[in-house]
Amino acid sequence: MSKLKEADFYYGAVISTLINNGICPMLIESNNDRQIYEFTTNQKDFWLFLKYRSIASGTKRDDYSSWQFTFSASDISELQDLVSQKKALSLGLICGTKKLIGSEYAVLHKKDVQRILDANKTSLTISRRRGEKAFRISMGGGRDNAMLIRSNRVY
């Protein structure tokens, strides 16, 4: 009998979303902390580097959620390698909640990943206020200096 891991539910939800949007994936690498997929579509070929957090960080406000993602030296090396290639890259951050139905999915494009790598960040905090149409990634200096990531990106 095959046992399912927690990661399977999160990564599977993203793959299901992509397939439902007409995108067919090919898995090229996976482990418990992250998965890297290579996609070929009629619009473009791209890499998708996925990470997840199963619950939000504690916040003082009910209308605000945040998640912290940590990148290992291996993650950073892999991201640097993928950024240097001509193929498009997306970093998918799966932002889980206690009730899975409230979970969210944020997608950073190559230029966003490059900005994070240029800032030498080994972790990032992504947040979203209820009703906002974008996630914010703290780049230092508070919400006004945050990188905005549209919340409707799929890849």
pTM over 0.85, yes/no: yes
| Cα–Cα distance measured from residue 64 to residue 49, given in angstroms and rounded to the nearest whole number | 25
Q: What is the pLDDT of residue 1?
A: 61
> What are the pLDDT tens digits along the chain (155 aa)?
688 888 888 888 888 888 888 887 776 656 555 688 888 776 778 889 999 998 888 766 677 789 999 999 999 999 999 999 988 999 999 998 888 888 899 999 999 999 999 999 999 999 988 888 999 998 887 777 899 999 988 88
Q: Are 116 and 129 a contacting pair, CB within 8 Å?
A: no
**CATH number of the domain located at residue range(s) 6-150 in this protein:** 3.40.1350
- Whole-angstrom distance between the N-terminal and C-terminal Cα of the chain? 33
Domain ranges of the chain: 6-150
